A and B are shown apart, each in its own frame.
Chain A
Amino acid sequence: MSGVASEIESVKAEGHKTSSPESRRFFLSTTFREERFFLILSVFIGLFSGLAVVCFRLAIDWSRISLLGPAPAPHSLRVLFAPALVSLLIAIIVIHIFPLARGSGVNQTKAALYIFNGYIPFRTAVGKFITAALAIGAGHSLGPEDPSLQIGASLASALGRRLELSREKLRLLAPVGAAAGLAAAFNAPISAVLFVIEEVIGRWSAGILGSVVLSAISSVVVVRWFLGAEPLFRIPPITTVKPIELFAYAVLGLAGGLAAVIFAKLIAFFRPRLRALPKWTQYFQSAVAGLIIGLIGYLGAPQIMGAGYEYMDQAMHDQFTWQLMAIFAGLKILATTLSFASGTPGGMFAPALFIGAMLGGAVSGMQHHFYPHLAGSTGTYALVGMGVLFAGFLRAPMTSVFMVLEVSGNYSIIVPVIIANTFAYLISRTLEPTPIFDLLSRQDGLELPSMEEQREESILRVEDAMQTPSGLLLNSEETVHQANLRAQQSQADTFLVRLSPSGWSSITREVLETLDGEGKGEQTLGSALPTARLPYLHPDYPLEMALRYVYQTPLVPVVSRADFRKLEGLISSEAVLNKYRVVSRDEN
């Protein structure tokens, strides 16, 4: 069994151990509820994640200065050889000590949430910390955000296990830690929260949202405390967009969508092929990738090495020609593909942002060249370009918009961002239906829920299966005798009764006749009704919800949300099953 496989098996075993029924829940005292403690714990997770990310960033900087020198420049032998030599060391560490440290970390966090009951081994965090810091510092084209996310999730998971939280809470701790790690790495809490909700958890709920927000904010506070509040980039003055310029942003969206598809397809193509090579090659795959990247840097483009934030900053300030920025975008796609597909630990957020910034700058420059009246400032395009790749490559449309707004602090840019991101997202979805994280998890043999597929899934609703109300409808105000007389004229055996002031019940023909025969004919139907109130549904409820009730009563009333006494339809178990049969037949 390979190192990774055996490691996964041990994670599975640990995960199930954690979820065992014997797991003690010591917090369920009456005075201190687990929910409240969970919120406080989220703050601590944020603090610890923030501290870990600060150390992680220092480690990256330290390794970069030590390995590439204070100012990496072309034609330096360090630039040529450092990535390859360090990659050999990383490969040994990953293969022999930290097999789960490969990759970005987003899918591992999702796997912890959905498969391993929130269990992420602490040693994964340690391994990720060391190997990613070395890899990014040595110039591999990878970013620190995804590893930070995983380090945060891993710390949270370890803390939860230590405190022996319930399985449910333990599962949720991983995304809470992930949000803290990502927020600290990005210095942008809103984007981190949105990303975790959009891509990891996949749903909004008050309980988890509060914890995620608290942890993200506390981690950002820690990072700002130690490293300062300055944003990752200096945002250039953003020019107001003229309506005609929106076409230019649409072009940027198209270009970004295409670039995102190429990027994703390259990774999806190379990664499984490299992994399928003999095991001994894994010692050298990362080194070969490092050598190629070093060569690119040596020959004149050290900008594509590492996370590249300083060069995004320069692109935003018009420091490169548009041709050069287009070349950087292309080289970064190549370099990141090599780094990532070779299994070097590190993230894809920063490279995606780099590609987007360069692409935005290139599109702006090209438009300045050919249509000078159409294009605004390069900085604005570079900024929008970042969001474009986020939307197209990472397939996080909401996060992509808020990320740009949060980083720029300028809401006047929102329309171009939305337009460009929408184009990129649509192009990317059309040409590559499976998002990159889902592709990667499927390549790893994990079937994690795809948030994008879930968002796009068509939901069957009650209104799709309900029947129009055709039978007799009785009122609780009328007497039993009157109701019986009306019932005589109907063929049905069961009648719905509309209660006053609201609510529904039912009565059978037989019961009605019995009540009338017992001399209760002058009583109101409401007072004589022997059965309890019926549950009711609304037309927009998911059809699954109807399943809960249709076995309690043969007919469930479907009522209007505006007027609960207004009957919109009726639903029965037979109608529900029929609908599922039809849909299943159609799909097959």
Chain B
Amino acid sequence: MKQVDWKSLICRPSVVIASLSIIAILAFLFVNRLVHRFSEQQKALARRMFAQGQLEQRSGRPDQAIEDFRVALSYDRGNFPYQLNLARALRDNNQPEEAKSYLLNLWNRTPDDGAVNLALARLAARQGQIEDAIHYYHNAAYGRWDSDADAKRRNAQFELVDFLLSRNALPQAQAELLNLSTTLPAASEDLRLRLAQLFARAQDYEHALAEYQRVLAHHREDGSALAGAGESAFRLGRYRTAEDYLSSALRINPKENPEDEQVRQLHETSNMVLQSDPYERKLPASERKARIRDAFNAAGERLEQCAVSQGVNANAMPPESSSPTASVASTPPANSGPDLASLKKQWVEMKPKLTRSRASDDSDLLDSTMNIVFEIEQATQKQCGPGSHIDQALLLLAQTRSGVDR
């Protein structure tokens, strides 16, 4: 019987490789178990430190919270929430570069994660990096969220609009809002109200009014919507509509607070505009003439006051003051300009015509008188600042002469 040469057999390369493979597999299994157990211990430690960090953060100790988050992360390096929380804490603690590093690290792992993109967007917004902020806000708005995705996406969009408005990027904000308005659920009044308010802040009063009206269609008595709709209508020069909404708003919410005060002022101004408007249709002739006269007198007073405040001697500008001497005497200071003097002259020349006129429906006279009134109001506004309610009303009429909601 042939004797087996065990030594040469076990020394065969294939046997050696097979043996090494088996040893490697066993070692792998052993190390795997070891790593797993150790990793569990470390993760428990990390959880403890993370919870401690959250407590510190809530207690207003961001430095300590950051340290705890760091330790937590050192024991669970790949942990997504730990990194995200650390990055947020760093960002809030004015350590933007390190926060960015963590966030970019996360972003590289999951570029579609909504929370990471939102955190990056906020960081970019804080650093004034508009393009980056918009990019990440968009990613957040269309990204993946673990829970309550629709609401979080909407919030990212709202936040983007807020950011754009804070940077005075009105056209971009308006575009984002239009996009947002198509995705909002129709029945959600709160969101519609928020959207309307943002439209108003973006100075897109047309859409703001439409959105307020959608809210009011469901909740007629919503004070905020009424006030917003009133203001939007006011900005659009639709004073009648504005007055209606604003008076309803005041009726519903008559409390004395700064916002109500603003509503009240808008309401008064709207009223004043409506009461001062000589162009209103179906206005009795006497009333129209009275309004023209009142406007004319108010403009004269305003001109007089402004001239005095600017150091221009209005009394030295008699109707006949066409002599060179008088002209020199009445030369106003450089900053008031010659307008006040010439306007005063026009006003003085117009006054007897207005007094003599009996034809209340003389449209030429109406136009020429109101033109002088508007010119005076615009010039005095420019040189002397805002005037009384009636002056502001006349100014608004001047600005929206062709668009007044009659």
Question: Which single member of A54, A71, A234, A237 contacts B31 (CB below 8 Å)?
Answer: A54
Q: Please, which residues of chain A bring their CB within 8 A of the CB of B324?
A: none
A377 to B38, CA, bound (A): 37
- Chain A window 22-41, contacts with chain B (Cβ cutoff 8 Å), 1 for yes, 0 for no: 00001101001000010011
Given A44-B20, A310-B70, residue A227 in contact with residue B35 (CB < 8 A): yes
Question: Which single member of A62, A236, A317 contacts B38 (CB below 8 Å)?
Answer: A62
Q: Label chain B's interface by main secondary structure.
A: helix
Given A32-B13, A54-B35, A71-B49, residue A317 in contact with residue B97 (CB < 8 A): yes
Q: Does B27 contact A (CB under 8 A)?
A: yes
Q: Please, which residues of chain B bring their CB within 8 A of the CB of A8?
A: none
A164 to B68, CA, bound (A): 52
Q: Does A319 contact B (CB under 8 A)?
A: yes
Residue of A nearest to B46 (CB): A70
A26 to B11, CA, bound (A): 7
The answer to whether B98 and A163 touch across the interface, beta carbons within 8 angstroms, is: no
Question: Which single member of A47, A54, A163, A314 contacts B16 (CB below 8 Å)?
Answer: A163
Q: Please, which residues of chain A bring their CB within 8 A of the CB of B38?
A: 58, 61-62
The answer to whether B104 and A40 touch across the interface, beta carbons within 8 angstroms, is: no
The answer to whether A61 and B35 touch across the interface, beta carbons within 8 angstroms, is: no
Q: Does A199 contact B (CB under 8 A)?
A: no
Residue of B nearest to A70 (CB): B45
Within 8 A of B (CB), among A292-311: 310
The answer to whether A61 and B78 touch across the interface, beta carbons within 8 angstroms, is: no
Given A32-B13, A65-B45, A71-B71, residue A226 in contact with residue B78 (CB < 8 A): no
A111 to chain B, nearest CB (A): 27
Q: Does B149 contact A (CB under 8 A)?
A: no
Within 8 A of B (CB), among A304-331: 310, 314, 317-319
Q: Considering residues B17, B20, B67, which has the most beta carbons from chain A within 10 angstroms of its beta carbon?
A: B20
A343 to B67, CA, bound (A): 33
Q: Please, which residues of chain A bring their CB within 8 A of the CB of B13?
A: 27, 29, 32, 37
Residue of A nearest to B67 (CB): A71
Q: Does B42 contact A (CB under 8 A)?
A: yes
Q: Please, which residues of chain B bring their CB within 8 A of the CB of A62?
A: 38
Residue of A nearest to B98 (CB): A317
The answer to whether A40 and B17 touch across the interface, beta carbons within 8 angstroms, is: yes
A318 to B13, CA, bound (A): 54
Question: Which single member of A58, A237, A310 contacts B101 (CB below 8 Å)?
Answer: A237
The answer to whether A318 and B28 touch across the interface, beta carbons within 8 angstroms, is: no
A310 to B70, CA, bound (A): 9
The answer to whether A55 and B78 touch across the interface, beta carbons within 8 angstroms, is: no
Q: Please, which residues of chain B bring their CB within 8 A of the CB of A142?
A: none
Q: Does B75 contact A (CB under 8 A)?
A: yes
B361 to chain A, nearest CB (A): 74
Residue of A nearest to B75 (CB): A70
Residues of B in contact with A, size category: 20 to 34
Q: Please, which residues of chain A bring their CB within 8 A of the CB of B74?
A: 310
A259 to chain B, nearest CB (A): 25
A27 to B49, CA, bound (A): 55
The answer to whether A319 and B98 touch across the interface, beta carbons within 8 angstroms, is: yes
- Chain B window 77-104, contacts with chain A (Cβ cutoff 8 Å), 1 for yes, 0 for no: 1100000000000000001011011101
Q: Does B105 contact A (CB under 8 A)?
A: yes
Number of A-B contacts (CB under 8 A): 76
Q: Please, which residues of chain B bring their CB within 8 A of the CB of A393?
A: none
Q: Please, which residues of chain A bring their CB within 8 A of the CB of B104?
A: 237
- Chain A window 222-245, contacts with chain B (Cβ cutoff 8 Å), 1 for yes, 0 for no: 000011101000111100000000
Question: Which single member of A58, A71, A318 contacts B34 (CB below 8 Å)?
Answer: A58
A226 to B67, CA, bound (A): 26
Residue of A nearest to B24 (CB): A47
Q: Does B275 contact A (CB under 8 A)?
A: no
A381 to chain B, nearest CB (A): 13
B116 to chain A, nearest CB (A): 15
Given A47-B24, A237-B100, residue A230 in contact with residue B32 (CB < 8 A): no
B89 to chain A, nearest CB (A): 13
Q: Please, which residues of chain B bring their CB within 8 A of the CB of A379?
A: 97, 101
Q: Considering residues A70, A227, A377, which has the most beta carbons from chain B within 10 angstroms of its beta carbon?
A: A70
Given A48-B27, A55-B31, residue A236 in contact with residue B101 (CB < 8 A): yes
Q: Please, which residues of chain B bring their CB within 8 A of the CB of A26?
A: 8, 11
A286 to B27, CA, bound (A): 34
A26 to B77, CA, bound (A): 47
Q: Please, which residues of chain A bring their CB within 8 A of the CB of B49?
A: 70-71
The answer to whether B67 and A61 touch across the interface, beta carbons within 8 angstroms, is: no
A318 to B74, CA, bound (A): 18
The answer to whether B35 and A226 touch across the interface, beta carbons within 8 angstroms, is: yes
Q: Please, which residues of chain A bring their CB within 8 A of the CB of B20?
A: 41, 44
A379 to B77, CA, bound (A): 20
The answer to whether B101 and A317 touch across the interface, beta carbons within 8 angstroms, is: yes
The answer to whether B77 and A230 touch across the interface, beta carbons within 8 angstroms, is: yes
- Chain A window 246-257, contacts with chain B (Cβ cutoff 8 Å), 1 for yes, 0 for no: 000000000000
A102 to B105, CA, bound (A): 39
A563 to B59, CA, bound (A): 84
Q: Does A51 contact B (CB under 8 A)?
A: yes
Residue of B nearest to A377 (CB): B97
A194 to chain B, nearest CB (A): 26
The answer to whether B105 and A234 touch across the interface, beta carbons within 8 angstroms, is: yes
Within 8 A of A (CB), among B1-24: 8, 11, 13-14, 16-17, 20, 24
Q: Please, which residues of chain A bring their CB within 8 A of the CB of B67?
A: 71
Q: Considering residues A37, A40, A226, A379, which has the most beta carbons from chain B within 10 angstroms of its beta carbon?
A: A226
Q: Considering residues B17, B45, B100, which has the most beta carbons from chain A within 10 angstroms of its beta carbon?
A: B17
Q: Please, which residues of chain A bring their CB within 8 A of the CB of B97?
A: 236-237, 317-318, 377, 379
B371 to chain A, nearest CB (A): 59
Q: Please, which residues of chain A bring their CB within 8 A of the CB of B95?
A: 317-319
The answer to whether A55 and B11 touch across the interface, beta carbons within 8 angstroms, is: no
Given A70-B71, A70-B75, residue A226 in contact with residue B32 (CB < 8 A): yes
Q: Please, which residues of chain B bring their CB within 8 A of the CB of A40?
A: 17
Q: Please, which residues of chain A bring their CB within 8 A of the CB of B16?
A: 37, 163
Within 8 A of B (CB), among A342-368: none
Q: Please, which residues of chain B bring their CB within 8 A of the CB of A61?
A: 38, 42
11 contacts between A and B (CB under 8 A): A26-B8, A32-B14, A37-B13, A44-B24, A47-B27, A47-B28, A58-B34, A71-B49, A234-B102, A237-B100, A377-B97
Known pairs A48-B24, A228-B78 / 8 extra A-B pairs, C-beta < 8 Å = A26-B8, A37-B13, A44-B20, A54-B31, A236-B97, A318-B97, A318-B98, A319-B95
- Report the 5 A-B pairs with minimum CB-CB distance, sorted nearest first: A317-B98, A26-B11, A71-B71, A32-B13, A44-B20
Binding site for B on A (CB under 8 A): 26-27, 29, 32, 37, 40-41, 44, 47-48, 51, 54-55, 58, 61-62, 65, 70-71, 163-164, 226-228, 230, 234-237, 310, 314, 317-319, 377, 379
